Amino acid sequence: MRTEFYLEGLACTNCATKIQQAAEKLDGVSEAIVDFSKSKIIVEAEPGRNGNLKSEIEEIVAAIEPHVVVGEKPQQKEKPEILTGRNIAFGLGLIGFFIALFLPEGTMKISLFIISYLLAGFEIIQQAWFNIRQGQIFDEHFLMSVATLGAIAIGEYPEAAAVMLFYRTGEFLQSLAVDRSRRSISALIAIRPEIAHRKHGDEIQDIAVEDVQIGDLLVVQPGERIPVDGVVVNGFSSLDTSALTGESVPRAAVEGDTVLAGCINLNGLLTIQAAKPASESAVSRILDLVENATANKAPTEDFITSFARYYTPVVVGIALLIAVIPPIVSSQALFSDWLYRALVFLVISCPCALVVSIPLGFFGGIGGASRQGVLVKGSNYLQALHEVDTVVFDKTGTLTSGSFVVHEIKSVDPFTEETILELAAHAESVSNHPIARSVVDAYEGVIDKGAIETFQELTGLGIEAHIRGHHILAGNTRLLEKHGIHVRDEAQGTGVYVAIDNQYAGLITIVDHPKADASQAIQGLKELGIKNIIMLTGDTEQTAKTIGDQLGIDDVRAELLPHDKVTELETIMAAHHTKGKVAFVGDGINDAPALARADVGIAMGALGSDAAIETADVVLMTDEPGRVVDAVVIARRTNRIVWQNIALALGVKLAVLVLGALGMATLWEAVFADVGVTILAVLNSVRTITPQTKTSIRSL
């Protein structure tokens, strides 16, 4: 039984992890996932589970984040709420603190410091107490509470108040950064239309998009979004596809063109025929991929979560030793001095910068990538993508257009070119393969379906059929050799070899041109330091070599059946002894096994098959090979920012920890080492949210 609850006000990635871990321990719960991007928790529970699941989730959330509200429906807000009760209390505490700084020494000054401390820190102390009662002692709330209460005990009122105020300042800025990142992803929801105008005869009826059926005629007016994927049957216009593909240049749409849901019709009136229901449209697929992306954590995230779990108790123990051992060993060591050092050490040690900024960095990277038409299904794939040093490409539909045209027909006596084309077109008419469609398109006559007596499509080989009493073979040389017909491969492109009644009849040469940016994509990958670029194809050796030379690919492996591609990919991965990852880029249903087998599977999304898109780890919403370069750069940029945060947090903390233990740092320096570094790390993570232009991306 799958149940979803919305967590209104959740802005802490560390707290989200705690909520998820606690929910997973509930009786009868097999799995719990907190989807941070959607502020919701998804719980898989046993059917007929006893107890009120919502109340149990509310109890968990109240213990970890008291201000978060658990609901069954999301609350739509145009902007984040600033004037909440907790923010007002924090603001009053801040004002009281600054007033106290300018007052003369005395009771009033101390009172204002304590009031500002309580206004800013009461919630933190309360949370620490709740956690202690539940056995969750060593967290940031505990560290802040012990350190500041200790400071008050030794009379350091300004520093105690400052620690709480700076901590709350960091929380506030973090919530704003998270909200911005969340909105960059949630803004995609706006591209899903809610209403469609269905045309029935001369009448037009408004219906919910979910009620659209395949084959329905839909009218799309200027300024409206296309409701479902379909084909234009009447009209012409320009489409804004930026929400799906990241491309700002409008694309023309004329009769016969395939159009995707979520695109904006800019000027003309269009009538489209629905090709897919709303649940299977491109926009729904995008939303599903992005919304579920945060469930897959990168190894760096998992490491930091585990690191913080063991790190915090260790530093608490060290702080205790700092406070107790020196006064015991030496009579000259004042307990108050060493207690102060221990308190400084505690404040510095809080791992907030790590546990907050790192998930936020990956979260922002996924959101920023999605706005550029690069959908990454999880931060683990974003991290793996930046480690890629070998890229394996499928050829047809990936590096080449997949739009085949008949270039030349050669016949062998006694057969004519017309006979070869007619029989081949009839045989190929049963197939949806791009090569088969090009042969049918080249035949100007009418296909007589009644003339086709039997047919069989042989994957990776071609077609075997009986037409008007004749046995027809149309495919590659291996198909003919399988039937004992030996021919020399002489096609100057992709060849469809035709045999009639077990006699070689002739050759139909098909050409497929590389995509416009394919050569630039290969060059871009080389400039990024990708060591190995390989092309796999089922095409002939000669055709594959020609395409490889045009694109600058030296390692070309041809004449591969679909299962051969997987075998070849496994060979490549087995020979890959470095730490780098192997990525496979494909678009067709026959690429799905290779996409699943690769370290990182990258699917062409706009025209790619559903099987390829579902199997892949990264989906490109355009069919441009150049987007592979963009995806690698986005991944590298995100990981670079994440490691900048790790280096910043650990470097500053270690330095100030040593100074604190030696008595050379005050609580003010400790506040900077904790909250200040957290703020800097969060602001640095926000950079991953902002999309960049292709020019600036490729210059990184």
Could you give the residue numbers annotated as active site?
394
Cis peptide before 327 (omega within 30 of 0): no
Tokens (6 digits) for 260? 């995707």
* Cβ-defined contacts of 126-133 (< 8 Å, 24+): 126/66, 127/64, 127/66, 130/63, 130/66, 131/63, 131/64
The residue among 230, 116, 102 whose CA lies nearest residue 166 is 116
Q: How many of the other CB atoms lie within 10 Å of CB of 329?
A: 9
Kindly write down the DSSP assignment for every residue of 2-39, as one continuous string. EEEEEEET---HHHHHHHHHHHHTSTTEEEEEEEGGGT
Q: Are 294 and 366 in contact (CB under 8 A)?
A: yes
| Alpha-carbon span 473 to 428, nearest angstrom | 10
| Alpha-carbon span 493 to 514, nearest angstrom | 12
The residue among 116, 158, 121 whose CA lies nearest residue 143 is 121
Q: Residue 514 has what DSSP assignment? A: B
E-only strand ranges, 177-254: 195-200, 203-208, 217-220, 230-234, 237-240, 251-253
Residues 373, 377, 379, CA angle at the centre, nearest 5°? 105
Q: Residue 190 has what DSSP assignment? A: G
What residues contact residue 579 under an 8 Å CB cut-off, 6+ apart?
387
Tokens (6 digits) for 130? 């709740």
What residues contact residue 536 under an 8 Å CB cut-off, 6+ apart?
392, 393, 394, 395, 557, 560, 565, 568, 569, 594
Sheet holding 2-8, edge to edge: 29-35, 40-45, 2-8, 69-71
Q: Would you call 458 helix, strand, or coil by DSSP?
A: strand
| Alpha-carbon span 392 to 597, nearest angstrom | 12
Chain-centroid distance of CA 392 in Å reads 20
| Alpha-carbon span 527 to 530, nearest angstrom | 7
Q: Helices 282-291 and 352-370: crossing angle, nearest 10°?
A: 170
| Alpha-carbon span 683 to 237, nearest angstrom | 42
| Alpha-carbon span 22 to 60, nearest angstrom | 7
First-residue to last-residue Cα distance in the chain: 47
| Alpha-carbon span 582 to 532, nearest angstrom | 9
| Alpha-carbon span 696 to 700, nearest angstrom | 7
The residue among 374, 441, 436 whose CA lies nearest residue 628 is 374
Tokens (6 digits) for 699? 């210059």
